[in-house]
């Protein structure tokens, strides 16, 4: 893992505001990027990641503290992002495609545009593994899919990114 | 054809990050969720030494052999704040306003953004790390710490974290903080203020090793290896006399 999972330790010792603050500092970016991988929109990622953190702190007593915190918060963020995206689509399906914001839309690099263009399941797996540093097993747990499926989604996603990058620079 | 390692490196660097405003909103919401019994006493204790953090995070590195020390002492001091740094300070003021509107008992100062300037720059494994400061309306300073090479956020603000000096000062006359941030996972940043005239601070880690940092405009900044644990900080004046000391109060 790229991040310091033992930041959860202070929280395990008393759920103090200091511990909550440490958890937030250590894992906010992970939660937000995981949510963004699902939604592709900053506004929805903001809401999903914030909701995920609030819910995580409220339910921290149920968290198995022998396990790393990062995959847990990422899973909550991914699920919340999916909920928000579904709700958004139900509300304004027709407008969504027009409003959908590719990552870094205004000044996105070819690489980010290639990632944004991936099918959602591939994009989630690629970001969770290659951006956030989760293992294949952790990604499988976060997205609720068998490890083999995750592996193949990542492989296909990276292959498409490579081809896109190569075509852009040909 | 780009290899996977290259794609991964570039993706980690380029993938979007949350705005400072979104981070501040989420931080406030999450902290409101912190269990009440421990909030009161523990949060009050933390206010004695830890400034308010706003915006995205970052880390420090001080390896006694390789402590991040001011590069070109004084060369960075007085550097006018670039637009993205000023925007970050403006957002800090916005957060202070929001905190008041939400009824937070702790009042946050307002910063004079027009006077934002560079204080100290140190070298870290992730490149230069800068401390910017501006006076506030409570008689102290607010500051921003960022990495010079980090990108400007989509909202125009510099990616970094903020804090403000305490008013009134703590009894120890030293405030110190150690911060690890996801954007720089191998570094822990240590920074703080000395509220009496001082030239240096000596930082002692829990293994007994020490490092000395310069105090510039009452502020200090250093960089430690991830996992370093601070034990105490002692401030000295220009003659080497001890003028203040504080032991760190850790959450655990």
| DSSP state string for B60-96 | ----TTT---BSSTTTSTTPBPPHHHHHHHHHHHHHH
DSSP B117: E
| CA pair distance A115, B112, nearest whole angstrom | 41
| CB-closest option in A3, A10, A106 to B251 | A10
DSSP A131: I
Q: Å from A94 to nearest chain B CA? A: 26
Question: Confidence band (pLDDT; 50, 70, 90) for A124?
Answer: very high
CB A29 within 8 A of CB B57: yes
CB burial string A51-85: b at 16+ within 10 A, e below: bbbbbbbeebeebeeeebbbbbbbbbbbbbbbebb
CB proximity list for A148: less than 8 A, separation 6 or greater: none
CB B189 within 8 A of CB B59: yes
Three-class DSSP category at B231: strand
Helix or strand (DSSP H, E) at B144: strand B141-147
Provide the pLDDT for residue B34: 65
Q: Contact B31/A21, CB-based, under 8 Å?
A: yes
Choose the weakest-confidence range: A113-117, A118-122, A133-137, B207-211: B207-211
CB A121 within 8 A of CB A78: no
Question: Confidence band (pLDDT; 50, 70, 90) for A62?
Answer: low
| CA pair distance A120, A39, nearest whole angstrom | 8
Q: Å from A88 to nearest chain B CA? A: 19
Provide the pLDDT for residue A65: 56
161-200 in chain B: CB under 8 A from chain A: 179-183, 185
Three-class DSSP category at B129: strand
Q: Å from B81 to nearest chain A CA? A: 24
Q: Contact A54/B180, CB-based, under 8 Å?
A: no
Count CA atoms within 13 Å of residue A86 on its CB side: 6
Q: Å from A95 to nearest chain B CA? A: 23
Provide the pLDDT for residue B131: 94
Q: For residue B195, give both structure tokens.
A: 């509220």
User: What integer best gives the mean pLDDT of chain B?
Assistant: 76
Residue A160, pLDDT above cutoff 70: yes
Closest C-alpha among B232, B226, B243, B221 to residue B49:
B232
Q: For residue A109, give both structure tokens.
A: 């690099």
Provide the pLDDT for residue B66: 38
What is the mean pLDDT of the segment spanning A119-147?
92
What is the mean pLDDT of the segment spanning A104-133?
84
Provide the pLDDT for residue B156: 80
CB A48 within 8 A of CB A80: yes
| CB-closest option in B4, B46, B180 to A4 | B180
Provide the pLDDT for residue B177: 81
Provide the pLDDT for residue A58: 73
Residue A119, pLDDT above cutoff 70: yes
Confirm or reject contact between B105 and chain A (CB < 8 A): no
Provide the pLDDT for residue B224: 83
Closest-CA residue of chain B to A131: B12
- One pLDDT digit (tens) per residue for chain B, 252 residues: 568 888 888 888 889 999 888 888 888 888 877 654 333 333 333 333 233 333 322 223 233 333 444 444 456 888 889 998 998 888 778 766 665 655 554 556 888 999 999 999 988 888 899 999 999 888 889 999 998 888 787 778 887 887 888 778 888 999 888 777 767 777 888 889 999 999 999 998 888 888 889 999 999 999 887 777 888 899 999 889 999 998 874 433
DSSP code per residue over B38-60: HHHHHHHHHHTT-PPP-SS----
User: What integer best gives the mean pLDDT of chain A?
Assistant: 78
Q: For residue B217, give both structure tokens.
A: 């405009």
Q: Contact A13/B252, CB-based, under 8 Å?
A: yes
Q: Is the whole model's pTM more than 0.80, yes or no? A: no
Residue A123, pLDDT above cutoff 60: yes
Tell the residue number behind the tokens 């191998």, with chain if given.
Answer: B186
Choose the weakest-confidence range: A113-127, A133-147, B65-79: B65-79
Chain B residues touching residue A4 (CB < 8 angstroms): 180, 185, 226
Closest C-alpha among A47, A30, A49 to residue A129:
A30
What is the mean pLDDT of the segment spanning A117-134?
93
Residue A3, pLDDT above cutoff 60: no
| CA pair distance A29, B176, nearest whole angstrom | 24
Chain A residues touching residue B29 (CB < 8 angstroms): 50, 53-54
Mutate to test the interface with B, among A4, A20, A77, A122 (most CBs of B within 10 A): A20
Question: Confidence band (pLDDT; 50, 70, 90) for A156?
Answer: very high
Confirm or reject contact between B106 and chain A (CB < 8 A): no
What's the pLDDT tens digit per position in B167-222? 788 889 998 887 777 677 778 888 899 999 999 999 988 888 888 899 999 999 99
Mutate to test the interface with A, among B22, B46, B51, B182 (most CBs of A within 10 A): B182
Q: For residue A143, give both structure tokens.
A: 């997205």
What's the pLDDT tens digit per position in B34-48? 654 333 333 333 333
Q: Å from B155 to nearest chain A CA? A: 11
């Amino acid at each position: 893992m790229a991040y310091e999972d033992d930041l959860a330790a202070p929280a395990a010792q008393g759920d103090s505001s200091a511990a909550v603050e440490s958890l937030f500092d250590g894992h906010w970016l992970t939660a937000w990027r995981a949510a963004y991988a699902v939604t592709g929109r900053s506004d929805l990622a903001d809401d999903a990641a914030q909701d995920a953190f609030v819910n995580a702190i409220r339910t921290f007593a149920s968290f198995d503290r022998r396990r790393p915190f990062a995959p847990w918060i990422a899973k909550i963020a991914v699920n919340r992002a999916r909920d928000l995206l579904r709700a958004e689509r139900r509300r304004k399906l027709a407008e969504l495609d027009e409003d959908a914001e590719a990552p870094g839309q205004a000044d996105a690099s070819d690489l980010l545009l290639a990632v944004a263009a991936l099918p959602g399941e591939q994009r989630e797996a690629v970001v969770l593994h290659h951006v956030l540093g989760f293992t294949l097993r952790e990604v499988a747990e976060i997205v609720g899919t068998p490890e083999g499926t995750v592996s193949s989604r990542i492989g296909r996603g990276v292959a498409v990114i490579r081809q896109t990058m190569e075509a852009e620079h040909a | 054809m780009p290899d996977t390692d290259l794609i991964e490196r570039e993706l980690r660097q380029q993938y979007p990050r949350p705005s400072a405003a979104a981070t501040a909103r989420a931080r406030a919401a999450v902290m409101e969720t912190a269990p009440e019994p421990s909030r009161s006493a523990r949060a009050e204790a933390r206010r004695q030494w830890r400034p308010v953090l706003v915006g995205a995070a970052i880390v420090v590195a001080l390896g006694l052999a390789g402590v991040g020390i001011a590069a070109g002492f004084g060369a960075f001091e007085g550097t006018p704040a670039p637009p993205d740094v000023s925007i970050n300070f403006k957002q800090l003021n916005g957060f202070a306003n929001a905190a008041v509107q939400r009824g937070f008992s702790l009042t946050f100062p307002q910063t004079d953004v027009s006077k934002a300037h560079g204080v100290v720059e140190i070298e870290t494994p992730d490149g230069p790390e800068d401390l910017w400061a501006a006076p506030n309306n409570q008689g102290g300073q607010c500051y921003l710490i960022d990495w010079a090479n980090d990108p400007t956020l989509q909202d125009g603000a510099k990616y970094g974290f903020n804090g403000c000096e305490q008013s009134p000062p703590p009894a120890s006359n030293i405030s110190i903080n150690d911060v690890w941030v996801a954007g720089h996972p191998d570094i822990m940043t240590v920074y703080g203020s000395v509220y009496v005239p001082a030239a240096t601070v000596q930082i002692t880690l829990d293994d007994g090793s020490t490092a000395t940092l310069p105090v510039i405009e009452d502020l200090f900044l250093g960089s430690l290896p991830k996992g370093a644990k601070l034990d105490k900080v002692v401030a000295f004046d220009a003659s080497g006399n001890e003028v203040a000391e504080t032991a760190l109060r850790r959450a655990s």
